[in-house]
Amino acid sequence: MTTIGAGKFKDVCLKLLDEVARTRTPIIITKRGQPVAQLMPYSFPERRRSLAGSVVREVGDPYGTGERWDADRS
């Protein structure tokens, strides 16, 4: 893993962003010799499969029980 001082990082930030994206290798950024940040390649989260949008058409009352209630008669 590569380390670089914060002052040097400031000078070559855009170049390092391109390098990390290309090589997929993280870089540790230090300040006065102590690690303060890590520049890592972005990884896209896995797409979760869901049933959202899969209902084509609803028929009837989805919350109904099929029973007639006294309140329905009025």
**Residue 74 clears pLDDT 70, i.e. is over it:** no
22 inside domain: yes
Domain assignment present for residue 15? The answer is: yes
pLDDT band of 60, cuts 50, 70, 90: confident
Does residue 3 lie within any of the structural domains?
A: yes
Tokens, residue 9: 């990082």
pTM for this predicted structure = 0.60
For residue 24, the enclosing domain spans 1-42
Q: Does 8 have pLDDT greater than 90?
A: yes
Q: Is residue 72 part of a domain?
A: no
Structure tokens at 63: 């919350």
Q: How far apart are CA 37 and CA 40, in angstroms?
A: 10
Residue 57: pLDDT band with limits 50, 70, 90: confident
CATH of the domain at 26: 3.40.1620.10
How many structural domains is the chain composed of?
1
What per-residue confidence (pLDDT) applies to 31?
96
Residue 60 in domain: no
In a domain, 32, yes or no: yes
What residues contact residue 42 under an 8 Å CB cut-off, 6+ apart?
21
User: Over the stretch 25-48, which tens digit does the pLDDT of each residue have?
Assistant: 999 999 999 999 999 999 988 887
